[in-house]
């Protein structure tokens, strides 16, 4: 149902397309996704554009995916610490799975994610590739 929606992601375009995240106005902690309240108690955040450079914290290769991702299987997904300090989850592409390891340096690229509904509206976002 929600995966058929062509507008569900529009409010995330800025973070998905330009890797814009949020920095706590009080303690400076950085987040990729919006968070209501920082553990320090502050609720005000400033936007910050990440460079897209980071390191793999953990990862896997998915062989059986949800409906809209099934045609992409198998694909690699990782948790990545960006150099500015925020943590992000993303697919890692253009590489051999065997070459991935914890601590590997990666960088952001702009890619197609999936098509939704009968109209086939394409959702885009950020994926990562190993930095060579």
Partner 1 sequence: MNVGVLGTGITKFGERWNQGLRELLLDAQLKALKDSKLSPEDIDALYTGNMGGGPLSGQLHIGAMATENLNINKPSVRVEGACASGSLALRAGIHTIEAGEAEIVMVSGVEKMTDVSTEQATTMLMGAGDEEIDGFIGLTFPGLYAILAKAYMHKYPKLTRDILAEISVKNHFHGARNDYAQFRKEITKDTVINSTMVADPLTLFDCSPITDGAATIILASEKKAKELGAKVSIIGSGLGTDSLSLARRKSLTRIDASWIAARQAYKQAGIKAEDVNFAEVHDCFTIAEVMAVEALGFAKEGEGYKLYQNKDTYFDGKIPINTSGGLKSCGHPVGATGVKQAIEATLQLSGKAEGRQVKNAEIGVTHNVGGSGGTACVHVFKKVK
Write out the residues near partner 1 by the rule CB under 8 A: 1-3, 9, 12, 16, 32-33, 35, 57-70, 72, 75, 77-79, 87-91, 97, 102, 113-114, 123, 125
Indicate left, alpha or beta for 14 from its phi (over 0: left) and psi (-120 to 50: alpha).
Answer: alpha
Q: What is the DSSP letter of 33?
A: S
| Minimum distance of partner 1 from residue 90's CB (angstroms) | 6
**Separation CA 102–CA 58 (nearest Å):** 6
| Minimum distance of partner 1 from residue 125's CB (angstroms) | 7
| Minimum distance of partner 1 from residue 123's CB (angstroms) | 8
Contact 55, 103 (CB under 8 A): yes
| Minimum distance of partner 1 from residue 72's CB (angstroms) | 7
**CA dihedral defined by 46, 114, 104, 109, rounded to 10 degrees?**
-60
């Amino acid at each position: 149902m929600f995966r058929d929606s062509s507008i569900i992601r529009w409010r995330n375009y800025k973070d998905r397309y330009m890797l814009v995240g949020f920095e706590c106005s009080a303690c400076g902690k950085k987040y990729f996704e919006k968070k209501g309240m920082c553990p320090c108690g502050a609720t005000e955040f400033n936007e910050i554009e990440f460079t897209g450079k980071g390191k793999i914290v953990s990862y896997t290769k998915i062989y059986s995916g949800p409906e809209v991702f099934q045609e992409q299987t198998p694909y690699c997904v990782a948790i990545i610490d960006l150099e500015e300090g925020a943590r992000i989850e993303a697919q890692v592409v253009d590489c051999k799975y065997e070459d991935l390891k914890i601590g590997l340096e990666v960088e952001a690229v702009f890619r197609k994610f999936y098509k939704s509904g009968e109209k086939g509206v394409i959702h885009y976002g950020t994926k990562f590739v190993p930095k060579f």
